[in-house]
């Protein structure tokens, strides 16, 4: 009875894995599926990007034309894959910040770091290696911009994006598990931030440490664990 009452509380559990990759480690280019081309998006693409995201089920990437224009103005990068006029894939990249604001997690980036933010393949283009090809193209794009380390947050159950990132040479270097009070807005109550020691040999890959991660609300527990 008591447990049932507890389970009815508006508390959700959220887990995020941190992935990281050095840009000076070698990688191979991967061809996109036939008929699809990959390029860097520009402000002129804003209406098409907004339209593509409006149709997406991926909440984090839904932005209007003004939001898209603001992202470009703030210096964010965007890679796009097209099949003729159709947007088949898009992904945003941030260069100053890897925060998950919705979950109250703040992570400023250093000047030579990047964060792969929203990644989205249109459903009819999934499972053909498109995200894998863009992940490789993104490495070239980031390296050419002088980036030394790229990070991403992924949900532990999102096998497709984990496979894509691992194939592109990313490693899981940490995690954040949260208990969040959700009534309308979200208020984290407990944040467990874990750095995985496999990355310890290379401190540049560490993201989930007290020096880097700030949680806006709730109790924060920082831990380390072996790989």
Ligand X SMILES: CC(C)(COP(=O)(O)OP(=O)(O)OC[C@H]1O[C@@H](n2cnc3c(N)ncnc32)[C@H](O)[C@@H]1OP(=O)(O)O)[C@@H](O)C(=O)NCCC(=O)NCCS
Q: Is 140 in the site for ligand X (CB under 6 A)?
A: no
**Conformational region of residue 194, where left means phi above 0, alpha means psi within -120 to 50, and beta covers everything else:** beta
Which residue has 């998006």 as its token pair? 41
Angstrom distance (rounded) from CA 47 to CA 193: 38
Stretch that binds ligand X, among 43-51, 101-109, 127-135, 202-210 (CB under 6 A): 127-135
Rounded to whole angstroms, the Cα distance separating 91 from 77 reads 8
Residue 92 is a binding residue for ligand X (CB under 6 A): no
User: How far, in Å, CA of 88 to CA of 124, rounded?
Assistant: 8
**Using CB under 6 A, which residues numbered 162 to 201 contact ligand X?**
163-164
CB of 130 to ligand X, least distance (A): 4
Asked whether position 156 contacts ligand X by CB under 6 A, the answer is no
**Structure-token pair, residue 55:** 């149709």
Q: Which of 20, 79, 93, 130 binds ligand X (CB under 6 A)?
A: 130
| CB of 183 closer than 8 Å to CB of 32 | no
86 binds ligand X (CB under 6 A): no
Residue written as token pair 């008591």: 2
Q: Of the ranges 10-18, 99-107, 129-137, 185-193, which one interacts with ligand X (CB under 6 A)?
A: 129-137
Name the burial class of residue 110, with classes exposed (0-12), middle (13-18) and buried (19+) by CB atoms within 10 angstroms of its CB.
exposed
- Note whether 75 binds ligand X by CB under 6 A: no
Count of residues in the chain:
227
Stretches 64-72, 121-129, 178-186, 190-198: which one binds ligand X (CB under 6 A)? 121-129
Examine residue 20 and tell whether it contacts ligand X (CB under 6 A).
Answer: no
Of positions 50, 97, 106, 129, contacts ligand X by CB under 6 A:
129
- Which of 49, 80, 119, 194 is close enough to bind ligand X by CB under 6 A? 119
Contacts to ligand X by CB under 6 A: 58, 119-121, 126-132, 154, 158-161, 163-164
């Amino acid at each position: 009875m008591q447990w049932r009452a507890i389970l009815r509380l508006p508390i959700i559990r959220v887990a995020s894995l941190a992935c990281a990759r050095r840009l000076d480690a070698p990688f191979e280019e991967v061809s996109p599926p036939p008929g699809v081309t990959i390029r860097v998006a520009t402000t002129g693409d804003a209406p098409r990007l907004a339209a593509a995201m409006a149709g997406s089920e991926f909440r984090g990437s839904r932005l209007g034309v003004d939001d898209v224009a603001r992202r470009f103005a703030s210096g964010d990068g965007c890679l796009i894959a097209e099949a003729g006029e159709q947007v088949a894939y898009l992904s945003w990249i941030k260069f100053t910040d890897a925060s998950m604001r919705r979950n109250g997690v703040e992570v400023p980036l250093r000047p030579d770091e990047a964060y792969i933010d929203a990644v989205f393949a249109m459903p009819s283009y999934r499972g053909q290696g498109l995200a894998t090809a863009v992940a490789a193209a993104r490495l070239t794009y980031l390296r050419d911009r002088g980036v030394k380390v790229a990070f991403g947050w992924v949900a532990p159950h999102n096998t497709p994006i984990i496979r894509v990132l691992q194939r592109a040479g990313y490693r899981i270097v940490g995690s954040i598990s949260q208990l969040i009070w959700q009534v309308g807005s979200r208020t984290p109550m407990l944040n467990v931030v874990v750095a995985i020691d496999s990355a310890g040999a290379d401190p540049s890959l560490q993201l989930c440490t007290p020096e880097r991660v700030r949680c806006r609300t709730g109790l924060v527990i920082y831990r380390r664990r072996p790989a």
